[in-house]
A and B are shown apart, each in its own frame.
Chain A
Amino acid sequence: MSTQEFDADPDAPVIELSGVSFGYAATPVVKDVSLAVDPGEYVAVVGPNGSGKSTLLQLTLGLLEPDAGTVRLFGSHADRFDNGERVGYVAQQASAAREMPITVREVVKMGRFPHVGFGRLSSEDWAIVDDALSTVGMSAFADRRITRLSGGQRQRAFIARALAGEADLLVLDEPTVGVDAESVDAFYTLLGALNAERITVLLIEHDIAAVAEHADRVVCLNREVYFDGSSGEFVESDALARAFGTASIGGEDG
Chain B
Amino acid sequence: MSLAAVPGVVAVTTVAGGLPPTPLFPIQGALGDLLFGVLLWFLEQWYWLMDWIYYFTGLEVINPRYRFMHRALLVGLCVGVMAPLIGTFLVHRQLALIGDALAHTGFAGVAVGLFLNAVIDLGVSPYLTAVVVAMIAALFIELISEVTDAYNDVSMAIVLSTGFALGTTLISLNAGGLAVGVNQFLFGNLSTVSPQSAAILLALFVVIVGTVAVTRNQLLYITFDETAAAVSGISVNWYNRVMVMLTAMVVVGAMQIMGVILVAAMLVVPVAGATQVSRSFSESLVVSVVLAELAVLLGIGIAYYGGVTAGGIIVLVAVAIYVCAVALGKIQSARGDRAPPETGSINADGADVGSGAGGD
Contacts and interface: CB of A to CB of B under 8 A. Distances in A.
A binds B: yes
Interface of A: 61, 63, 81-85, 87, 89, 91, 95-97, 99-103, 105-107, 110, 113-114, 116-118, 134-141, 143-145, 150, 153, 156, 161, 165, 171, 180, 182-183, 185-187, 189-190, 192-194, 196-197
Given A136-B346, A186-B346, A192-B348, A101 B341 contact: no
A6 to B, nearest CB: 14
Given A110-B224, A118-B214, A135 B346 contact: yes
Contacts of B346: 135-137, 156, 183, 186-187, 189-190
Interface in B199-235: 214-215, 217-218, 220-221, 223-234
A102 B228 contact: no
Given A100-B224, A193-B349, 5 more contacts: A61-B230, A95-B228, A97-B93, A103-B280, A106-B282
B231 A113 contact: no
B121 interface: no
B169 interface: no
A102 B233 contact: no
Nearest to A142: B341
A101 B283 contact: yes
Contact of A189 (B228, B284, B354, B360): B354
Given A183-B357, A185-B356, A137 B343 contact: yes
22 contacts: A61-B231, A89-B232, A95-B225, A95-B228, A96-B228, A100-B224, A101-B279, A106-B281, A110-B217, A110-B225, A110-B229, A110-B232, A135-B348, A137-B347, A140-B344, A165-B232, A180-B360, A183-B346, A186-B348, A189-B353, A189-B354, A193-B349
A117 B353 CA distance: 35
A143 B279 contact: yes
A97 B348 contact: no
B231 A103 contact: no
Contact of A99 (B92, B215, B279, B345): B92
Nearest to B287: A101
B231 A101 contact: no
A91 B231 CA distance: 11
A222 B272 CA distance: 44
| Most chain A CB neighbours (cut-off 10 Å) among B93, B234, B354, B360 | B354
A97 B223 contact: yes
Nearest to A105: B280
Given A138-B344, A186-B346, A193-B349, A101 B278 contact: yes
Q: Which 10 A-B pairs have the closest CB atoms?
A: A186-B354, A84-B233, A137-B344, A193-B348, A140-B341, A84-B232, A186-B346, A182-B356, A89-B231, A100-B92
B112 to A, nearest CB: 36
Nearest to A190: B348
Contacts of A190: 346-348, 353-354
B41 to A, nearest CB: 30
Contacts of B354: 137, 182-183, 185-187, 189-190
Interface in B331-351: 340-349, 351
A181 B230 CA distance: 31
A192 to B, nearest CB: 7
A222 to B, nearest CB: 24
Contact of B275 (A99, A106, A135, A140): A99
Contact of A110 (B227, B228, B283, B347): B228
A101 B348 contact: no
Interface residues of B, number: 46
Given A84-B234, A89-B227, A101 B275 contact: yes
Contacts of B221: 110, 113
Given A182-B356, A186-B354, A114 B233 contact: yes
B225 A113 contact: no
Interface of B: 92-93, 214-215, 217-218, 220-221, 223-234, 274-275, 278-284, 340-349, 351, 353-354, 356-358, 360
B345 A102 contact: no
Nearest to B280: A103
A153 B227 CA distance: 20
B304 to A, nearest CB: 34
Nearest to A137: B344
A82 B351 CA distance: 34
B255 to A, nearest CB: 28
Contacts of B217: 110, 113, 116-118
A20 to B, nearest CB: 18
A205 to B, nearest CB: 17
Contact of B224 (A96, A105, A186): A96
Nearest to B283: A101
Nearest to B225: A96
Nearest to B220: A110
A125 to B, nearest CB: 11
A141 B353 contact: no
A63 B232 contact: no
A141 B218 contact: no
Contact of B279 (A103, A135, A193): A103
B349 A101 contact: no
A136 B358 CA distance: 11
Contact of A101 (B232, B284, B351, B356): B284
A23 to B, nearest CB: 16
B224 A113 contact: no
Given A89-B232, A113-B221, A140-B342, A102 B347 contact: no
A116 B283 CA distance: 21
A102 B234 CA distance: 20
A172 to B, nearest CB: 12
